[in-house]
Amino acid sequence: MSASVNGQASAVADSVFCVECGCEGLLSTGRTVGVAEPDLADAPVMACTECLDSYAFCGVGGVPADWPGNAETRSRRACCPAG
């Protein structure tokens, strides 16, 4: 599957689902999900199509670093990474 962020084609996983509601994610940008940091406004994110605050930043090529989740989930991941 491929998508486009800021006019650049990106290869993304076939299906990425929100950990909060189970809906499929959509490739988007930090600006569309309301990220406050200006340097992250154009960063690719995988955002839930239903939950307004569920997203995960993407790495190189638009591949999500994790499953989309809300602010609490993202905070817990930052505090206690898996591995």
pLDDT tens readout for residues 3-28 = 555 555 444 556 899 999 999 999 99
1: which 2 tokens? 């599957």
List, in order, residues 6 or more apart from 71 with CB less than 8 Å away: 53
pLDDT tens readout for residues 43-71 = 999 999 999 899 999 987 888 888 999 99
CA distance 81 to 83: 6
List, in order, residues 6 or more apart from 61 with CB less than 8 Å away: 10, 11, 12
pTM: 0.74
**Would you list the domain boundaries of the chain?**
2-79
44 membership: H or E segment, kind and range: strand 44-48
Taking Cα atoms as reference points, which of 42, 43, 33 lies closest to residue 70? 33
